[in-house]
Protein backbone atom coordinates (compact mmCIF):
# COMPACT_ATOMS: atom_id res chain seq x y z
CA UNK A 1 0.00 0.00 0.00
CA UNK A 2 2.94 2.32 0.73
CA UNK A 3 6.70 2.23 1.27
CA UNK A 4 8.81 2.62 4.40
CA UNK A 5 10.05 5.96 3.04
CA UNK A 6 6.44 7.17 2.74
CA UNK A 7 5.71 5.99 6.27
CA UNK A 8 8.76 7.76 7.67
CA UNK A 9 7.75 10.93 5.80
CA UNK A 10 4.22 10.73 7.24
CA UNK A 11 5.72 10.37 10.71
CA UNK A 12 7.81 13.52 10.20
CA UNK A 13 4.80 15.49 8.97
CA UNK A 14 2.70 14.40 11.94
CA UNK A 15 5.49 15.19 14.41
CA UNK A 16 5.61 18.72 13.02
CA UNK A 17 2.14 19.08 14.58
CA UNK A 18 2.44 16.99 17.75
CA UNK A 19 5.22 14.89 19.29
CA UNK A 20 5.40 11.09 19.37
CA UNK A 21 3.16 9.56 21.99
CA UNK A 22 4.94 7.64 24.76
CA UNK A 23 5.10 3.89 25.27
CA UNK A 24 5.63 2.61 28.78
CA UNK A 25 6.27 -0.75 30.36
CA UNK A 26 4.09 -0.29 33.44
CA UNK A 27 5.22 -2.52 36.36
CA UNK A 28 1.71 -3.22 37.64
CA UNK A 29 0.46 -4.21 34.19
CA UNK A 30 3.46 -6.51 33.85
CA UNK A 31 2.57 -8.07 37.20
CA UNK A 32 -1.06 -8.41 36.16
CA UNK A 33 -0.15 -10.32 32.98
CA UNK A 34 2.99 -11.92 34.41
CA UNK A 35 5.03 -10.84 31.40
CA UNK A 36 6.64 -7.78 29.77
CA UNK A 37 3.92 -5.45 28.47
CA UNK A 38 4.40 -2.25 26.45
CA UNK A 39 1.46 0.17 26.26
CA UNK A 40 1.42 2.73 23.43
CA UNK A 41 -0.41 5.80 24.72
CA UNK A 42 -2.48 7.06 21.80
CA UNK A 43 -4.79 8.55 24.41
CA UNK A 44 -2.14 11.29 24.61
CA UNK A 45 -2.66 12.71 21.10
CA UNK A 46 -4.31 16.15 20.68
CA UNK A 47 -7.71 14.49 20.23
CA UNK A 48 -7.19 11.70 22.76
CA UNK A 49 -7.11 8.95 20.11
CA UNK A 50 -4.95 7.51 17.31
CA UNK A 51 -7.27 8.53 14.47
CA UNK A 52 -5.91 12.09 14.31
CA UNK A 53 -2.74 10.78 12.65
CA UNK A 54 -4.67 9.65 9.58
CA UNK A 55 -6.92 12.69 9.57
CA UNK A 56 -3.93 15.01 9.33
CA UNK A 57 -2.39 13.16 6.39
CA UNK A 58 -5.73 13.05 4.58
CA UNK A 59 -6.64 16.72 5.16
CA UNK A 60 -3.17 17.86 4.16
CA UNK A 61 -3.53 16.12 0.79
CA UNK A 62 -7.03 17.51 0.23
CA UNK A 63 -5.77 21.02 0.91
CA UNK A 64 -2.71 20.67 -1.35
CA UNK A 65 -4.74 19.25 -4.24
CA UNK A 66 -7.83 21.43 -3.63
CA UNK A 67 -10.04 18.34 -3.58
CA UNK A 68 -12.58 19.64 -1.07
CA UNK A 69 -13.40 23.26 -2.02
CA UNK A 70 -16.86 22.98 -0.42
CA UNK A 71 -15.65 20.98 2.56
CA UNK A 72 -15.63 17.35 3.61
CA UNK A 73 -18.14 15.12 5.33
CA UNK A 74 -17.92 11.81 7.14
CA UNK A 75 -19.61 9.61 9.73
CA UNK A 76 -18.26 8.57 13.08
CA UNK A 77 -18.95 7.41 16.61
CA UNK A 78 -16.48 10.09 17.71
CA UNK A 79 -12.74 9.67 17.25
CA UNK A 80 -12.68 9.77 13.43
CA UNK A 81 -14.87 12.88 13.55
CA UNK A 82 -12.62 14.60 16.08
CA UNK A 83 -9.65 13.71 13.89
CA UNK A 84 -11.20 15.29 10.80
CA UNK A 85 -12.39 18.35 12.70
CA UNK A 86 -8.91 18.92 14.16
CA UNK A 87 -7.21 18.38 10.79
CA UNK A 88 -9.80 20.33 8.81
CA UNK A 89 -9.41 23.35 11.07
CA UNK A 90 -5.63 23.22 10.66
CA UNK A 91 -5.79 23.03 6.85
CA UNK A 92 -8.77 25.35 6.31
CA UNK A 93 -11.35 22.74 5.26
CA UNK A 94 -14.94 22.94 6.61
CA UNK A 95 -16.00 19.65 8.18
CA UNK A 96 -19.48 18.13 8.57
CA UNK A 97 -19.85 15.00 10.69
CA UNK A 98 -22.85 12.65 10.85
CA UNK A 99 -23.29 10.69 14.08
CA UNK A 100 -26.00 8.17 15.01
CA UNK A 101 -28.72 9.15 17.46
CA UNK A 102 -27.66 8.44 21.02
CA UNK A 103 -23.98 8.97 20.26
CA UNK A 104 -21.61 9.95 23.07
CA UNK A 105 -22.61 13.44 24.20
CA UNK A 106 -19.05 14.22 25.23
CA UNK A 107 -17.60 13.15 21.87
CA UNK A 108 -20.29 15.22 20.14
CA UNK A 109 -19.31 18.24 22.23
CA UNK A 110 -15.63 17.71 21.42
CA UNK A 111 -16.32 17.60 17.66
CA UNK A 112 -18.34 20.81 17.83
CA UNK A 113 -15.63 22.49 19.90
CA UNK A 114 -13.10 21.60 17.19
CA UNK A 115 -15.29 23.36 14.62
CA UNK A 116 -17.28 20.55 13.01
CA UNK A 117 -20.92 20.90 11.97
CA UNK A 118 -22.68 17.95 13.59
CA UNK A 119 -25.71 16.10 12.21
CA UNK A 120 -27.56 13.19 13.82
CA UNK A 121 -28.97 10.38 11.69
CA UNK A 122 -29.74 6.68 12.10
CA UNK A 123 -29.38 4.24 14.94
CA UNK A 124 -25.79 3.11 14.39
CA UNK A 125 -22.54 3.93 12.61
CA UNK A 126 -23.43 2.16 9.38
CA UNK A 127 -26.69 4.10 9.02
CA UNK A 128 -24.88 7.38 9.73
CA UNK A 129 -22.23 6.53 7.13
CA UNK A 130 -24.83 5.83 4.43
CA UNK A 131 -26.46 9.18 5.12
CA UNK A 132 -23.11 10.99 5.02
CA UNK A 133 -22.37 9.47 1.61
CA UNK A 134 -25.77 10.63 0.33
CA UNK A 135 -25.14 14.16 1.61
CA UNK A 136 -21.68 14.20 0.04
CA UNK A 137 -23.21 13.60 -3.38
CA UNK A 138 -26.13 15.99 -2.89
CA UNK A 139 -24.02 18.90 -1.57
CA UNK A 140 -20.81 18.30 -3.54
CA UNK A 141 -18.77 17.58 -0.42
CA UNK A 142 -15.70 15.35 -0.20
CA UNK A 143 -16.60 12.12 1.60
CA UNK A 144 -13.78 11.21 3.97
CA UNK A 145 -13.92 7.46 4.63
CA UNK A 146 -13.02 5.84 7.92
CA UNK A 147 -10.67 3.54 6.02
CA UNK A 148 -8.43 4.55 3.11
CA UNK A 149 -4.82 4.89 2.03
CA UNK A 150 -4.16 8.31 3.61
CA UNK A 151 -5.75 7.20 6.86
CA UNK A 152 -3.81 3.94 7.08
CA UNK A 153 -0.57 5.72 6.19
CA UNK A 154 -1.03 8.27 8.95
CA UNK A 155 -2.35 5.82 11.51
CA UNK A 156 0.48 3.34 10.84
CA UNK A 157 2.88 5.83 12.44
CA UNK A 158 1.71 4.79 15.91
CA UNK A 159 2.99 1.27 15.25
CA UNK A 160 6.19 2.58 13.67
CA UNK A 161 6.89 4.59 16.83
CA UNK A 162 6.16 1.60 19.06
CA UNK A 163 8.33 -0.82 17.07
CA UNK A 164 11.18 1.71 16.93
CA UNK A 165 11.02 2.27 20.71
CA UNK A 166 10.21 -1.21 22.05
CA UNK A 167 11.98 -3.33 19.44
CA UNK A 168 10.90 -6.85 18.58
CA UNK A 169 7.62 -7.80 20.22
CA UNK A 170 6.30 -11.34 20.25
CA UNK A 171 2.62 -10.36 20.23
CA UNK A 172 0.78 -7.12 19.53
CA UNK A 173 -2.91 -6.86 20.42
CA UNK A 174 -4.82 -4.29 18.32
CA UNK A 175 -8.54 -3.44 18.40
CA UNK A 176 -10.57 -3.55 15.19
CA UNK A 177 -13.22 -0.95 14.45
CA UNK A 178 -13.29 -0.38 10.71
CA UNK A 179 -9.65 -1.44 10.48
CA UNK A 180 -7.20 1.44 10.00
CA UNK A 181 -5.41 0.86 13.31
CA UNK A 182 -4.71 -2.81 12.84
CA UNK A 183 -3.97 -2.50 9.11
CA UNK A 184 -1.49 0.25 9.90
CA UNK A 185 0.18 -2.06 12.42
CA UNK A 186 0.40 -4.85 9.83
CA UNK A 187 1.94 -2.51 7.26
CA UNK A 188 4.48 -1.06 9.71
CA UNK A 189 5.52 -4.52 10.92
CA UNK A 190 5.97 -5.83 7.40
CA UNK A 191 7.90 -2.77 6.20
CA UNK A 192 10.27 -3.10 9.16
CA UNK A 193 10.72 -6.82 8.49
CA UNK A 194 9.58 -7.85 11.96
CA UNK A 195 7.95 -11.15 12.91
CA UNK A 196 5.56 -9.86 15.57
CA UNK A 197 2.29 -11.80 15.78
CA UNK A 198 -0.57 -9.33 15.46
CA UNK A 199 -3.83 -10.31 17.16
CA UNK A 200 -7.04 -8.48 16.32
CA UNK A 201 -9.56 -7.71 19.06
CA UNK A 202 -13.28 -7.25 18.50
CA UNK A 203 -16.36 -6.96 20.65
CA UNK A 204 -18.22 -10.23 21.08
CA UNK A 205 -21.35 -8.20 20.24
CA UNK A 206 -19.83 -6.86 16.98
CA UNK A 207 -17.56 -9.57 15.51
CA UNK A 208 -17.92 -8.50 11.87
CA UNK A 209 -14.30 -9.11 10.90
CA UNK A 210 -14.01 -12.34 12.88
CA UNK A 211 -17.10 -13.68 11.13
CA UNK A 212 -15.90 -12.43 7.73
CA UNK A 213 -12.49 -14.08 8.12
CA UNK A 214 -14.22 -17.30 9.11
CA UNK A 215 -16.63 -17.14 6.14
CA UNK A 216 -14.02 -15.95 3.63
CA UNK A 217 -16.17 -12.99 2.52
CA UNK A 218 -17.64 -9.78 3.92
CA UNK A 219 -20.33 -10.55 6.49
CA UNK A 220 -22.72 -7.78 7.54
CA UNK A 221 -24.15 -8.12 11.03
CA UNK A 222 -27.69 -7.16 11.95
CA UNK A 223 -26.50 -5.28 15.05
CA UNK A 224 -23.40 -4.12 16.91
CA UNK A 225 -24.70 -3.68 20.44
CA UNK A 226 -21.62 -2.80 22.49
CA UNK A 227 -20.80 0.08 24.82
CA UNK A 228 -17.32 0.13 23.25
CA UNK A 229 -18.47 2.47 20.49
CA UNK A 230 -15.16 2.38 18.62
CA UNK A 231 -15.75 -1.33 17.98
CA UNK A 232 -19.42 -1.00 16.98
CA UNK A 233 -19.13 -1.74 13.25
CA UNK A 234 -21.57 -4.02 11.42
CA UNK A 235 -19.99 -4.13 7.93
CA UNK A 236 -16.24 -4.64 7.34
CA UNK A 237 -14.31 -2.66 4.75
CA UNK A 238 -13.30 -5.12 1.97
CA UNK A 239 -9.77 -3.69 1.62
CA UNK A 240 -9.23 -3.81 5.37
CA UNK A 241 -10.54 -7.37 5.46
CA UNK A 242 -8.02 -8.41 2.82
CA UNK A 243 -5.10 -6.96 4.81
CA UNK A 244 -6.38 -8.53 8.02
CA UNK A 245 -6.81 -11.96 6.43
CA UNK A 246 -3.24 -11.88 5.13
CA UNK A 247 -1.47 -10.20 8.04
CA UNK A 248 -3.25 -10.97 11.31
CA UNK A 249 -2.61 -14.20 13.20
CA UNK A 250 -6.08 -14.44 14.68
CA UNK A 251 -9.00 -12.40 15.99
CA UNK A 252 -10.28 -12.74 19.53
CA UNK A 253 -13.49 -11.32 20.94
CA UNK A 254 -14.13 -9.74 24.32
CA UNK A 255 -17.35 -8.89 26.13
CA UNK A 256 -18.32 -5.49 27.52
CA UNK A 257 -17.72 -6.98 30.98
CA UNK A 258 -14.18 -7.96 29.93
CA UNK A 259 -13.61 -4.44 28.63
CA UNK A 260 -14.93 -2.87 31.84
CA UNK A 261 -12.43 -4.97 33.80
CA UNK A 262 -9.63 -3.72 31.53
CA UNK A 263 -10.75 -0.08 31.90
CA UNK A 264 -10.49 -0.54 35.67
CA UNK A 265 -7.08 -2.20 35.30
CA UNK A 266 -5.71 0.69 33.27
CA UNK A 267 -7.00 3.13 35.85
CA UNK A 268 -5.62 1.30 38.88
CA UNK A 269 -2.32 0.20 37.29
CA UNK A 270 -1.43 3.32 35.27
CA UNK A 271 -3.97 6.02 36.21
CA UNK A 272 -4.77 6.38 32.50
CA UNK A 273 -8.32 6.73 31.25
CA UNK A 274 -9.26 4.27 28.51
CA UNK A 275 -12.38 4.20 26.39
CA UNK A 276 -13.88 0.84 25.50
CA UNK A 277 -11.97 0.27 22.27
CA UNK A 278 -8.81 1.53 23.96
CA UNK A 279 -9.08 -1.06 26.71
CA UNK A 280 -10.08 -3.97 24.45
CA UNK A 281 -6.49 -5.11 23.70
CA UNK A 282 -5.74 -5.34 27.42
CA UNK A 283 -8.98 -7.27 27.92
CA UNK A 284 -7.88 -9.74 25.25
CA UNK A 285 -4.39 -10.12 26.71
CA UNK A 286 -5.84 -10.72 30.18
CA UNK A 287 -8.00 -13.46 28.68
CA UNK A 288 -4.93 -15.07 27.09
CA UNK A 289 -2.58 -14.57 30.04
CA UNK A 290 -1.58 -18.23 30.14
CA UNK A 291 -0.30 -18.00 26.54
CA UNK A 292 1.89 -14.95 27.19
CA UNK A 293 4.38 -16.19 29.78
CA UNK A 294 7.91 -15.20 28.81
CA UNK A 295 6.79 -13.13 25.82
CA UNK A 296 7.20 -9.44 25.04
CA UNK A 297 3.70 -8.04 24.50
CA UNK A 298 2.50 -4.72 23.09
CA UNK A 299 -0.85 -2.97 22.78
CA UNK A 300 -2.15 0.50 21.99
CA UNK A 301 -4.30 2.31 24.48
CA UNK A 302 -5.79 3.75 21.31
CA UNK A 303 -8.23 6.22 22.87
CA UNK A 304 -9.34 7.75 26.15
CA UNK A 305 -12.57 9.45 25.06
CA UNK A 306 -15.06 7.71 27.33
CA UNK A 307 -18.15 9.47 28.69
CA UNK A 308 -17.91 10.14 32.42
CA UNK A 309 -21.19 8.31 33.17
CA UNK A 310 -20.01 5.14 31.43
CA UNK A 311 -16.59 5.36 33.07
CA UNK A 312 -18.20 5.68 36.49
CA UNK A 313 -20.51 2.73 35.79
CA UNK A 314 -17.66 0.50 34.62
CA UNK A 315 -15.23 1.58 37.33
CA UNK A 316 -17.72 1.15 40.15
CA UNK A 317 -19.36 -2.04 38.86
Residue extents of the structural domains in the chain:
4-50+149-316, 52-143
Helix (H, G, I), strand (E, B) or coil at 98: strand
- pLDDT value at residue 307: 83
Per-residue pLDDT for 138 more than 70? Answer: yes
- Find, among 47, 143, 29, the residue nearest to 93 by Cα: 143
- pLDDT value at residue 247: 98
Architecture of the domain delimited by 4-50+149-316: 3-Layer(aba) Sandwich (3.40)
- pLDDT value at residue 104: 85
Can you spell out the DSSP letters for 157-174?
A: HHHHHHHHHH---SEEEE
Per-residue pLDDT for 317 more than 70? Answer: no
In percent, the amount of the chain with pLDDT more than 90 equals 87
Q: Note whether 4-50+149-316 and 52-143 share their fold.
A: yes
- pLDDT value at residue 220: 94
Instruction: State the Cα–Cα distance between residues 317 and 311, nearest whole angstrom.
Output: 10
**pTM of the predicted model over 0.75:** yes
Tens-digit pLDDT profile for residues 248-258: 999 999 999 99
Architecture of the domain delimited by 52-143: 3-Layer(aba) Sandwich (3.40)
Mean pLDDT of the chain: 95
Amino acid sequence: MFTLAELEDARRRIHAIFPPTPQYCWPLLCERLDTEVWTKHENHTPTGAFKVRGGLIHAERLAKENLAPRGMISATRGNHGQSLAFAGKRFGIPVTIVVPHGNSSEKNAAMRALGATLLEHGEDFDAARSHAMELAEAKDLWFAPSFGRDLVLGVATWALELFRAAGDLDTLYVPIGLGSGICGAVMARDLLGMKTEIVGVQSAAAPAYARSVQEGAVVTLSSADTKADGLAVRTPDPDALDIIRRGVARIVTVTDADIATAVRAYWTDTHNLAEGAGAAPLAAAMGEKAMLAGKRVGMPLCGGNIDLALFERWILS
